[in-house]
Amino acid sequence: MQTLQLELDNHAYPIHIGEGLLANADLIKPALKGQKRAVVVTNETVAPLYLAQLQATLASLDCSIVPIVLPDGEHHKNWQTLNLIYEGMLRANCERKTPVIALGGGVVGDMAGFAAATYQRGVPFIQVPTTLLSQVDSSVGGKTAINHELGKNMIGAFYQPNLVLADTSVLATLSDRELRAGLAEVIKYGILGDLPFFEWLEQNIDALIARDTDALQYAIKRSCEDKARIVEADEKEGGVRALLNLGHTFGHAIETGLGYGAWLHGEAVAAGMVIAADVSRRLGILGAAEQTRIVELIRRARLPTQSPDLGIDRYLELMGHDKKVESGKIRFVLVSAIGQAVIRGDVPESVLGDAITACLA
């Protein structure tokens, strides 16, 4: 097991990474703060696999659970499903100190975190991510949200957990498609700020796809280190944290335009990073050879390198709803070199149109 500590001005929490952690009561106990009951939010896919195991671990701490099992899928990340969490907590008479534990991937983590942030104006929150994408990205940093039909993650809150417990053994039940989707976020960290990690990924991408235990644990740890460093510098995304959105402006447009769940989040981000690299080259800030390396690594991860044809006007319309729009201008995260990302608000629509067109399937 390896442990990282994310240190913020008024809050700190551990990120534990390793095998078999779901059964380790000693790791969970401090975050419960003596409470004898906890809400466990999960979904229909994860519950049959790991809910009983987590329940047994909590029972060893004399802590019972209020299970709330949600329907699975990005298309359920909405007000209606969020209300199922509130209703379950209210019916169980949950109190202000009752912890909420997210047992699942990014969708479960986002919704459970938003519920924890808003139920009685904030209750303790614990992340137990069960997908690669959630272990390397969404469980760390305190972003919580639900989707709206006009835009992804537009309604939410910053709300930090008290613990992130990343049990790598649960990845054994993850589908190949979900594993590859998680690799998109891993690759993102190398592109935006960690050239040595990008080079390591070029050497080890096949091992990651083959689920090599040591490679996966290293990639998770390195990704969490990179994200923690950025979040510590900019918790509420006033500056450098926006770089973590590399590929996301285009990717969110793909997810919203196709309908939530048609493409997995990581798949859309992968295609979005390809477009971002193309825009960067067209603006003259990224060399063609580096663009090729980025696209090739994404291709080797068996992720999309081409985007669906939504129509250029539709892309621009959807990106106009992005959270990074400022004074009516979309701020794009672009790449000036592998390991260096920049934010630009001056990208001409003609360049965007040409780049998107060049990357269409």
Active-site residue set: 121, 143, 185, 227, 237, 241, 245, 248, 252, 265
List helix spans (H) across the chain.
25-32, 52-59, 79-91, 106-118, 132-133, 176-193, 195-209, 213-233, 248-258, 265-282, 288-300, 312-319, 349-358
Return d(Cα 6, Cα 227) in angstroms, integer.
Answer: 9
Query: Which residues are bridge partners to 254 per DSSP?
Result: none
Return d(Cα 304, Cα 2) in angstroms, integer.
Answer: 32
Scored b (16 or more CB within 10 A) or e, 316-335 reads: bebbebbbbeeeeebbbbbb
Beta-carbon contacts of 21 under 8 Å, excluding residues fewer than 6 positions away, are 1, 27, 165, 166, 167, 169
